[in-house]
Amino acid sequence: MSSFDFSQWPPKFTDIQLTNLVQHATTYALAHGLAYLPAIPSQPPAPSSVTHAPISLLPAPVPRALFRKAQRLQSIYNDLYARVATDDDFLDQVMGAEVGVGQADEFVRRLWKGWKEIREEGIVQPLHLGLFRSDYLLHTGDGHALGLKQVEFNTISSSFGPLSEKVSAMHRYLYALTNYYHGSPHLKPENFPPNDTISGLVNGLAEAHKAYGVPSAYILFVVQPDERNVFDQRWLEYELLEKHGIRVVHRTFLELATTTSLSGPSRTLLLTVPSNSIPIEISTIYFRAGYAPTDLPTETHWTVRLTLERSHAIKCPSIPLQLAGGKKVQETLSQPGVVERFFTTLESSVAASATAELRETWMPMWALDAENLPTLPTSFPDVERNPGEPLGTTFARRHAENLVLKPQREGGGNNVYKGNIPAFLEALPAEERMAWIAMALIVPPAGIGSYLARAVSGAGGAGQNKEDEERPKLVCVETISELGIFGWALFGKDEGTGVVRKERGDVGWLMRTKGVESDEGGVAAGFSVLDSVVLVDG
């Protein structure tokens, strides 16, 4: 186990110290764009007010060796998922509508069928761009030393990198201003790891733009309507323009329905904009929307999504790369011998080392429709099969308290946990089991806490006291923190292997913290706050 005592975190502060920290943190956040648009329906098109993003007053402790391990692994994960995304046969088998998850999941089915049609008519852009994030929790289970376990690997809309950089800077500011009132010997500058996520992610976008080869082209950000998390995107836009001279345009799917066209045999993506007399050319499409069925509710939305995919612009992600991020792919890779097939072109010792390191980060996983299960820890004893039910479903039912069920979804709020699993399985149609996986729960260190600050909405709704409008709400609760490591890859097929063309392993990181009573972890979904890291020994 780690020599650091997690149960003694956070250090204690007086009420006046906490009041001062909240004041300094929230004003810093507002002054430095660590902000959201408020949830006010009457907000005009040009925003006139903001609220600070949900934040932690203190960084979360992470053992130094495990943090470095997560950073080192990112390059391996970038390479792996580039190979997965360029293996058509594998994705057809795992995610397809004929034999894979697409049989049971309408959203996956439509993505896969659209991609299949585009393959048949001819793909005009062989390059893919991935802005990735691999998410981890610290794990204390199985009687071993404190370890690092992967929650998931994100291939679409891997958000909060820019705001994570801002909250890291905020924590350094609070230290410089107050020395955190000498509350902990761990809170010192050398234990605050650098976080340059904005430039790291932007370098990936800029490399795609450069590979496209038209300097005057724009990068298109596809965004959700009424997006509150706009500043996380704007910081990328500003860096692209200021450091690389690349311009960005933001559009929703519906806005694109009437303003885009494909030109010529190469299917150049052109976009009409009110400020230009001629259409602008798009080099790269960065999807901050399109990861959930609610993003594509009509045929018009789907038509736009597939039009973008057909174009010559480099997609971030392409449909196959989006499919590669499916939970079923994560589960399939954990099966014996599967991940090894993607590293056959590497030197054997390199492939063996990479495979071993990846497998160390995976919890046991299986499909609900599985008849053969992985080797499970002793906390998962064998159970008698229910007649007429797949073994994977029976195991999930009997061991529900140690599990989470995951569908093929991103964005938070989609999983089913512990005590809710048996009733969910009773209601789940048999034909939909294929779309779900079971994963053993990661067991983070117990007793750790933090101070979490959220802004109270200033919308003036019923039951809200006027004096509470926009007042920060601070709570000190027991918490769980989730570490995300960012990386990028620009890649295409190389004799069918999908070897990465250009990639950058660790380009920054994100820490999200939530109360232990919350199973889900999304910031935008309202479960977590943005945090940073303090490195500890042990």
Catalytic positions are 133, 152, 154, 159, 327, 406, 410-411, 512
526: annotated binding-site residue? Answer: no
228: annotated binding-site residue? Answer: yes
8: annotated binding-site residue? Answer: no
CB neighbour class for 291 (10 Å; exposed up to 12, middle 13-18, buried from 19): buried
> Could you tell me the two tokens for 402?
């140690």
Closest CA to 139 of 65, 56, 66: 66
The number of angstroms, rounded, from the C-alpha of 360 to the middle of its chain's C-alpha atoms is 20
Residues 482 and 518: their CA atoms lie apart, in Å, by 13
**Total Cβ atoms within 10 A of residue 4:** 20
443: annotated binding-site residue? Answer: no
Asked whether the beta carbons of 330 and 437 are under 8 A apart, the reply is yes
Q: Which residues are bridge partners to 481 per DSSP? A: 513
CB neighbour class for 42 (10 Å; exposed up to 12, middle 13-18, buried from 19): exposed
154: annotated binding-site residue? Answer: yes
288: annotated binding-site residue? Answer: yes
119: annotated binding-site residue? Answer: no
159: annotated binding-site residue? Answer: yes
Backbone angles phi, psi at 384, to 5 degrees: -80, 135
**Total Cβ atoms within 10 A of residue 374:** 16
Residues 439 and 416: their CA atoms lie apart, in Å, by 11
Q: Read out DSSP for 27-45?
A: HHHHHTT-EE----TT--S
496: annotated binding-site residue? Answer: no
The number of angstroms, rounded, from the C-alpha of 373 to the middle of its chain's C-alpha atoms is 27
233: annotated binding-site residue? Answer: yes
414: annotated binding-site residue? Answer: yes
290: annotated binding-site residue? Answer: yes
440: annotated binding-site residue? Answer: yes
327: annotated binding-site residue? Answer: yes
> Could you tell me the two tokens for 507?
């380009």
Strand intervals (E) in 245-379: 247-251, 260-263, 268-271, 280-287, 314-316, 365-367
74: annotated binding-site residue? Answer: no
Give counts: helices (H), strands (E), the chain: 15, 21
Closest CA to 229 of 250, 246, 209: 250
64: annotated binding-site residue? Answer: no
CA atoms within 13 A on the CB side of 209: 22
410: annotated binding-site residue? Answer: yes
Closest CA to 363 of 392, 383, 334, 341: 334
247: annotated binding-site residue? Answer: no
17: annotated binding-site residue? Answer: no
289: annotated binding-site residue? Answer: yes
The number of angstroms, rounded, from the C-alpha of 424 to the middle of its chain's C-alpha atoms is 25
133: annotated binding-site residue? Answer: yes
- Residue set of the binding site for substrate: 133, 156-159, 227-229, 233, 288-291, 512, 523-524
- Residue set of the binding site for Mg(2+): 152, 154, 410
- Residue set of the binding site for ATP: 152, 327, 406-415, 417, 439-442, 482, 514, 520
- Residue set of the binding site: 133, 152, 154, 156-159, 227-229, 233, 288-291, 327, 406-415, 417, 439-442, 482, 512, 514, 520, 523-524
